[in-house]
Amino acid sequence: MERRDFLMGAAGVLGATALRGRTPALEGNGNPSAPLTLFLCGDVMTGRGIDQLLARPSEPTLHESYVRDARRYVELAEEVNGPIERPVGPGYIWGDALAELERQRPDARIVNLETAVTRSSDFWRGKGINYRMHPANIGCLTAGGIGCCVLANNHVLDWGYAGLAETVPTLRRAGLETAGAGRNLTEAAAPAILEAGGRGRVVVYAFGSPTSGIPDEWAAAEERPGVHLLTDLSEATVRRIATRVTGEKRPGDVVVASIHWGGNWGYTMSADQRRFARRLVEAAAVDVVHGHSSHHPLGVEIYRGRPILYGCGDFINDYEGIRGHEEFRGDLVLAYFARLERSSGRLVRLAATPFRSRRLRLERATSGEATWLRGILDREGAALGTRVERGADETLVFYPRESGGKD
């Protein structure tokens, strides 16, 4: 089942000080040889019910077959966990994740933003689900200190080409880099360059696959706006990506390939996905494969010292109160922190902090919930060569199965 079929669902605390592509909390970090830490998560969906919580909600009319008013998604959450006082502040949706981000102090923060940031009313006909956040609510992203919004997904054009034309400059004016969509193929294929506090660069390439529900007609062309769409996962595609990456990558750079692919539910990934991800590491000098589209976290592989996150799961959404697929615990989400050697890009440590969504904000997961997630990810990692243990800091830590190391 693809996402479009799932239930037909003050400028920000840091906005004034956010610097383009750089996490404000890291200003003055004086150790240039220390490993770089990346924050990575899955889908951040600030439209629809989330947008309605914020200070400047969009007009709430929806074009779904089940729900016609975006405020209904807030009501569904309230029916499960109690009332939410509105409007909420820009940092509300991040909840306990803000303290964890401050504790981890990542050098770059990368999310898959599955929402058009626009006032456009030109919804994409026949799509069924259309996510939109009012541009005046951009503070909910700057409040999280986000450095890069990946846009190569199946919601960025929900409000047409006019919506995309407003989304990209709105994000960039707020100090957020973008990758994966733009005015033409050249812009959509260009990487986001994040300056990691003066200690190096994080280069983010973003790709979308039709397997995630991206319509073919959304593909950017030289004379047409759209997303950076992969037509296939072939060796020829790997070679094209390798040419781009090796032409841009400098010594000391960390390269992230962020890919929106696959379905929403279930733990399996195709043989083509595994082969493609590995080939990006082998042939295209990619240091981190950042996969998303699944509504829940998938197993992780550590290949040649590089993390492959096949599916990070949702991170922020308005699905609370929606019934179906409870066995996957879509309310439990992970914030991934990948620590990488600056000189080589090799993985030093990969950990994930568990949260749960409650009243449309993130809370730290309970010990039992974290244990459940550990068991699932350890089970799914077995075929990928990884194991998962609880860290001393209550995170979930990923190791190669042959490794005996612990925190």
For residue 265, what pLDDT is reported?
80
What predicted TM-score, i.e. pTM, was given to this entire model? Answer: 0.91
For residue 1, what pLDDT is reported?
37
For residue 32, what pLDDT is reported?
67
Query: Directed axis angle between helix 235-248 and helix 271-283, to 10°?
Result: 30
- In the chain, pLDDT over 70 holds for what percent of residues? 91
For residue 323, what pLDDT is reported?
86
Q: Are 337 and 357 in contact (CB under 8 A)?
A: no
* Cα 216 to Cα 209: distance, rounded to the nearest angstrom: 9
For residue 21, what pLDDT is reported?
44
Question: Which residues are CB-contacts of 50 (< 8 A; sequence separation ≥ 6)?
Answer: 93, 133, 140, 316, 317, 318, 360
For residue 197, what pLDDT is reported?
76
The candidate with the shortest Cα–Cα distance to 61, out of 123, 103, 109, is 123
Q: Are 2 and 209 in contact (CB under 8 A)?
A: no
CA distances from 402 to 375, 399, 405 (A): 18, 8, 9
* Cα 26 to Cα 378: distance, rounded to the nearest angstrom: 32
Q: List the pLDDT tens digit at each of the 407 positions of the chain.
A: 334 333 333 333 333 333 344 443 333 345 767 899 999 999 999 999 999 999 999 999 999 998 999 999 999 999 999 999 999 999 999 999 999 999 999 999 999 999 999 999 999 999 989 999 999 999 999 999 999 999 999 999 999 999 999 999 999 999 999 999 999 999 999 999 999 877 889 999 999 999 999 999 999 999 999 999 999 999 999 999 999 999 999 999 999 999 999 998 888 899 999 999 999 999 999 999 999 999 999 999 999 999 999 999 999 999 998 988 888 899 999 999 999 999 899 999 999 999 999 999 999 999 999 999 999 999 999 999 999 999 999 999 999 987 655 55
pLDDT single digits (tens) 253-281: 999 999 999 998 888 899 999 999 999 99
Neighbours of 311 (CB within 10 A): 29
* Cα 374 to Cα 226: distance, rounded to the nearest angstrom: 38
Give 229's strand partners: 208
Domain 3-400 coded CATH 3.40.50.720: no
* Cα 222 to Cα 218: distance, rounded to the nearest angstrom: 13
Secondary structure string (H, E, C) spanning the chain = CCHHHCCCCCCCCCCCCCECCECHHHCCCCCCCCCEEEEEEEEECCCCHHHHHCCCCCCCECCCCCCCECHHHHHHHHHHHCCCCCCCCCCHHHCCHHHHHHHHCCCEEEEEECCEECCCCCCCCCCCCCCEECHHHCHHHHCCCCCEEECCCCCCCCCHHHHHHHHHHHHHHCCCEEECEECCHHHHHCCEEEECCCCCEEEEEEEECHHHCCCHHHECECCECEECECCCCCHHHHHHHHHHHHHHCCCCCEEEEEEECCCCCCCCCCHHHHHHHHHHHHHCCCCEEEEECCCCCCCEEEECCEEEECCCCEEECCCCCCCCCHHHCCCEEEEEEEEECCCCCCEEEEEEEEEEEECCEEEECCHHHHHHHHHHHHHHHHHHCEEEEECCCCCEEEEECCCCCCC
Looking up tokens 């989304």 gives: 167
pLDDT single digits (tens) 32-46: 678 999 999 999 999
The candidate with the shortest Cα–Cα distance to 130, out of 72, 70, 52, 172, is 70
The candidate with the shortest Cα–Cα distance to 54, out of 117, 5, 128, is 117
* Cα 264 to Cα 231: distance, rounded to the nearest angstrom: 20
